[in-house]
Amino acid sequence: MAGNSQRRNRRTSNKKGATVGSGGQRRRGLEGKGPTPPASMRKGHKKNRVANAQAKHAARRPAPRRGGPKGTNELVVGRNSVVEALREGVPANTLYVQQFVDSDERVREAIQLATEKGLNLMEAPRPELDRMTNGLNHQGLVLSVPPYDYAHPEDLTAAAADNGEAPLIVALDGITDPRNLGAVVRSVSAFGGHGVVVPERRAAGMTASAWKTSAGTAARTPVARATNMTRMLEAYQKEGLLVVGLAADGDVELHELDALEGPVVIVVGSEGKGLSRLVGETCDYRVRIPMPGGAESLNAGVAAGVVLYEAARRRA
């Protein structure tokens, strides 16, 4: 009996557990843990898994083609176009390569250039590339170019002031061909101009095509967007700039224009329609370029280059 009593006592004492302190664990266990997070944030919950899957899909999903909402990426499609864009330093962010694509020199060069530039390389099945490009002949290569970071028109005059120079700016009125925009950017860079202004709507923007035509000078020559071209020109006039519009029926010939020596904004219209009415009425001078050869007009890139050369010559 005594032995049984001792065993019973040992079992009873063992059930009591440790006699040392809990280290505050019991007190912390009684403390509140705050509000319950939503299901989409609770690890392991079905809604959390769905939210994570959606986030991953959004990260992988290619951007829509240019022409959609403002701020969307542009897609360069096709082997030759992609390689040329990469060679010219177009600021891309992702190269999409079709799975199991028949590789040739262009595909290999595109991958090499993209790797050297630190771009994202994404492999995608052909149906996905077809969807991204709306069925265009992408040939297994698609380059994603982020939206261009446009300057504000006031930034151009501020940059000139910082350099202690008289502003020399080109504004484009009704130019819809991005290659013309790229050519103007290249001329502005070559002749020491401070930037280009384009309308926000119904005008060429800094697409990959414009960037390629600029031969990389767009990296150092800012392009600004104006919500309203007429009001922007009037704002420049208030800052002391003279507005010079190029017109085939202008009152002043280019070589007679002394205004090019000071702060000036040169306005170039479209080859067919020229300056719009309101913009033409805002100009301080309407200038014509003499053309002994008898040509009726010059395209925007050539016309801007001629006037910029004359401005640079006078300022020198």
Q: Rounded to an integer, what distance in angstroms lies between the CA atom of residue 77 and that of residue 138?
A: 5
Tokens 């009415």: give the residue.
277
What are 71-108's pLDDT values in tens digits?
578 999 999 999 989 988 888 999 999 998 888 999 99
The pLDDT of residue 36 is 58
Asked whether 168 and 196 are in contact (CB, 8 A), the reply is no
Which stretches does DSSP call E strand in 99-210?
Answer: 120-124, 141-145, 168-173, 195-199
Instruction: State in Å, rounded, how far the first CA of the chain is from the last one.
Output: 121
* Alpha carbon separation from 134 to 58, 66, 128, 271, 298 (Å, rounded): 19, 12, 10, 32, 36
Minimal CA–CA distance to 306: which of 284, 291, 293?
291
- pTM for the model stands at 0.71
Q: What is the pLDDT of residue 186?
A: 93
| Cα gap 189→222, rounded to integer Å | 9
Nearest one of 181, 159, 178 to 170, comparing CA atoms: 181
pLDDT in tens, 23-56: 555 555 555 554 555 555 556 655 555 555 544 4
Task: Taking residues 132-149, report their average pLDDT.
Answer: 92
Convert the pLDDT of each residue in 246-298 to its tens digit: 988 888 899 888 989 999 999 998 877 788 899 999 999 999 888 876 666 78
pLDDT band at 212 (very low <50, low <70, confident <90, very high): confident
CA distance 28 to 299: 78
